Structure 1
Amino acid sequence: MKKFIETLKNIWSITELRNRILFTVFILAVFRFGSFVVLPGVNPEALAAAASQRGANDILGLINAFTGGAFNNAAVFALGIMPYITASIIIQLLGFAVPYFQRLQQKEGESGRKKINQITRFLTVLITLVQGGGYLLMIKSTPGAVDATLNPSIFWFSNLIILSTGTVFAMWLGEKITDRGIGNGISLLIMAGIIATLPRAFFAELQTQLNQTSIIVFILELVVLFIVVLASVLIVQGVRKIPIQFAKRMVGRSSGNIPVSGARDYIPLKVNAAGVMPIIFAQAIMFLPGSIAGFFSEEAANTGLLLQLQNWKSLPYNIIFFFLVVIFTYVYTALLVNPQQYAEYLKRQNAFIPGIKPGKSTQDFIDNLTTRVTLPGSIFLGLISIFPALVGGFGVNDAFAIFFGGTSLLIMVGVVLDTLQQVESHLLMRKYDGLVKSGRLKGRSGMQPIGTNM
């Protein structure tokens, strides 16, 4: 405890780090304040009543969790930063398929990144207009949610502008945190929204367990959550190091050259290179049965396999969800990790993997090793994705169960590790002890932060 207090004092004594932390806290407070400013002409109580009848893990519940309750509050930040995340994912996928975006990302350096950021911002506005229209349509269809005396044209036009402005402002707040604060701003805004729903879910589960069973069951739940978080940290930090060696070089004059052994280094292959993206893609696929059910009669939609695929706790849903996550992990890792680029880079640097011939043999070796390393990572992501359903089946309430896995847990773990790594860097630069007694936080250099472009 004394060591921890001393570390906090060291953090506070570094003026730049203290200012960055205070600035980040201030921006997060502004973001949370906007989550309670309600759109004009909207009754949030009616929306909350309608939301209470939905599951906590459906698509609307997931969006509400990411926005910290702003979605159900009909706030100016109701869409949060999600349109920007969608735009970033689209641009990133285009970078794998469209030569123009590949050139911007890989060959044009800083100017290319600026162009990509500008395109992402414009695409964010377009997506916000589309999603904002759908959100207002949902509000309009909710009984008692809209003031009947308000002119419909004014309601649509004004609130669509406010929602778009709110998303652009949230995007600007995230960029300011990245520039002047600590950590990745977009990721921190998402984490702030997720954590904002944690206290209510925590105390609701505590009250439920005290009323139904005992405090022992609740303590066991916390122990399980702690173990899952530790496992998530291990998988996020885990790397497979491929040793490489640079060729020998000659030192001295031509008449007496002395051969010097080449330096040794390694290529880090992330166990979970795909991050949370496979779960997001698989979750999007699993929302399709609910959309398809809308085209059938109520009797047909509520029978058979279609009904089970709309229940996130059912066995068929979780089996399909698990395998989709595993498949998408391999697909997304294949897009991110390019063995051919690794082999070409090693050849240009006059380096090689010991025991492996340069060129095609090196490419095949990295490809095979990536495939093997991805297997445990994909299985872990699959288990993490269905773990909320497992704990929910044991009586944990839905709102608290989502923190036992899925995108919520992985985002929180990844963002916290990334932020702590930056704090650690500031401490070590000024010759203070780091946040851990032995070793150092590895950060996530091989894992792209949310909302950034490669």
Structure 2
Amino acid sequence: MFETLRRAFRLPELRNRILFTLMMFVVIRLGTYIPVPGIDRAAVAQLVGKGGFLGLLDLFSGGGIANFAIFSLSVLPYINASIIIELLGSVIPALEELRKEGGKEGQLKIAKYTRYLTLGLAVIESFGILAIFRSYLSSTGLFVKLLIVLSLTAGAYIVLWLGEVMTERGIGNGVSLIIFSGIVSRIPVGVAQAFSLTQAHSLSVIGLIGGILGAIVLLLLVLFAYEGERKVPVQYAKRIVGRKVYGGQSTYIPLKLVQAGVLPIIFASTVLMFPATVSQFWSTSWFYVNIAQPLTSSSTLPHNVVFFFLIIFFTYFYTEITYDPIKIADDLKKYGGYVPGVRPGEATAHYIKNVLDRIVLPTAIFLAFLAIVPNIAMRNQQISAFAFGGTSLLIIIGVALETVQEIEAYMMMRHYKGFMK
């Protein structure tokens, strides 16, 4: 990976994209330290430090919640809006048609609908954050409350815009990189906390070493999952045009074990946080106390069980909407290709779908286990599992690998000789 980055910096256009992305990281980090007025930030930081739902929310915002900054909501409203739009696309024919057959114009319309929904969810979640910290307000006046809601909503929309700019002018997926930067920024805090607990004998040295070794094993397993692929052989028939013979070569369709990348984990995490955010309006209700709050604590059984099945669901869901076996089979038939031993057309589509089902299910279960095992292992420790949990490591590794692969693809597209050697 480091060799790839070194070679990437030799290409001026790619170097500018990487530097632009790093500059955006700086802007986003600054936004997590610009405070929203009208609230006791010290009391907020103390409450967030206790972990639970607020700890998970603070992790995704890169410390924005603890600082009660304008970027406290980060990209969570956008992710929730994306999930809702994707789910609606499966039941509303018009959205499904826009997504599959609308082309670039259809994608632009879906992006516009997502932005509108993001704005609405940002307002709702801002009121939810206000309800959580209502006892820490410097004034109970309407002006202060509206100022906080407007600041948080504007911050969420600015983060969305920055993510889109990063995707367009930088390298990698902007939204994923924003989450990545927020999680990475909390790791030094978690490391310092772990060493302080070790010195205070609240955490044993053996436990600390075991955690480090466990993280290394988790890293290797995730790398194996993300790099693995199933190769479907494809043979192209020979065609004679004049005196020349075309086709006849053998190739394959690479089906990645992790088709959807890190998105199912991000989606599953945000879905778990959304009920608790909304139910803060009724913080003493039965729903909040018995359902929403336990779902946001990584040490509870309900959280890990629901998180497990959500990862499996979103892995299948995202693979289904991004990988169309029928289209692949039609393209193969159109260009004279076929899978050896399988009839072209419908039989090929059925074969590819069966292959996808066989690799997606075990991979989804594997990733789900990796996400919940560290949470269970660290449930009795006095250190937050968020910074070192399976969710954080899976997101960090997944986003890093996807970004490096995009850099490599960019260099190959530009015929960078230093990389091709």
State the TM-score bracket (shorter-chain normalisation): 0.7 to 0.9
Q: 1:159 aligns with which of 148, 159, 164?
A: 148
Give how far 1:71 is off: 1.6
Pairing of 1:288-437 with structure 2 (within 5 A): 294-296=284-286, 312-314=298-300, 318-319=304-305, 321-323=307-309, 325-393=311-379, 396-400=381-385, 402-406=387-391, 408-425=392-409, 427=411, 429-433=415-419
Residue number in structure 1 paired with 2:89: 95
Give the whole-Å Cα distance in 2 for the aligned partners of 1:276 and 1:9: 25
Residue number in structure 2 paired with 1:227: 217
Q: Do structure 1's residue 42 and structure 2's residue 39 form an aligned pair?
A: yes
Residue number in structure 2 paired with 1:445: none
CA change 1:198–1:431 in 2 (3 A) is: same
Q: Do structure 1's residue 183 and structure 2's residue 172 form an aligned pair?
A: yes
Q: 1:208 aligns with which of 190, 197, 214?
A: 197
Helix, strand or coil at the partner of 2:232: strand
CA change 1:317–1:77 in 2 (3 A) is: closer
CA change 1:316–1:28 in 2 (3 A) is: closer
Pairing of 1:431-446 with structure 2 (within 5 A): 431-433=417-419
Give how far 1:316 is off: 6.4
Residue number in structure 1 paired with 2:110: 116
CA change 1:247–1:411 in 2 (3 A) is: same
Q: Unmatched 5+ residue regions in structure 2? A: none
Residue number in structure 2 paired with 1:147: 138
Q: CA RMSD in A?
A: 3.3
Residue number in structure 1 paired with 2:11: 14
Percent identity between the two aligned chains: 37
Which of the pair has more CA radius of gyration?
A: 1
Q: Unmatched 5+ residue regions in structure 1? A: 438-454
Q: Do structure 1's residue 78 and structure 2's residue 78 form an aligned pair?
A: no
Contact persistence 2:77–2:118 (CA under 8 A): yes
CA change 1:100–1:197 in 2 (3 A) is: same
CA change 1:347–1:398 in 2 (3 A) is: farther
What's the TM-score, normalizing by structure 2?
0.86
Residue number in structure 1 paired with 2:230: 240
Give how far 1:357 is off: 0.9
Q: Do structure 1's residue 25 and structure 2's residue 22 form an aligned pair?
A: yes
Residue number in structure 1 paired with 2:49: 52
Give how far 1:266 is off: 2.1
Contact persistence 1:326–1:378 (CA under 8 A): yes
Instruction: Map Cα deviations across residues 360-393 of structure 1 (whole Å, 9 max, x no partner).
Output: 3222212222221123202212212212223304
Give the whole-Å Cα distance in 1 for the aligned partners of 2:260 and 2:19: 32
Instruction: Map Cα deviations across residues 218-251 of structure 1 (whole Å, 9 max, x no partner).
Output: 3342222122112112212222111112222113
Give how far 1:157 is off: 2.2
Give how far 1:282 is off: 5.2
CA change 1:387–1:293 in 2 (3 A) is: farther
Give the whole-Å Cα distance in 1 for the aligned partners of 2:418 and 2:71: 39
Q: What amino acid is aligned across from residue 221 of structure 2 in structure 1?
A: A
Give how far 1:356 is off: 0.4
Helix, strand or coil at the partner of 2:344: coil
How many pairs align?
414
CA change 1:163–1:312 in 2 (3 A) is: closer
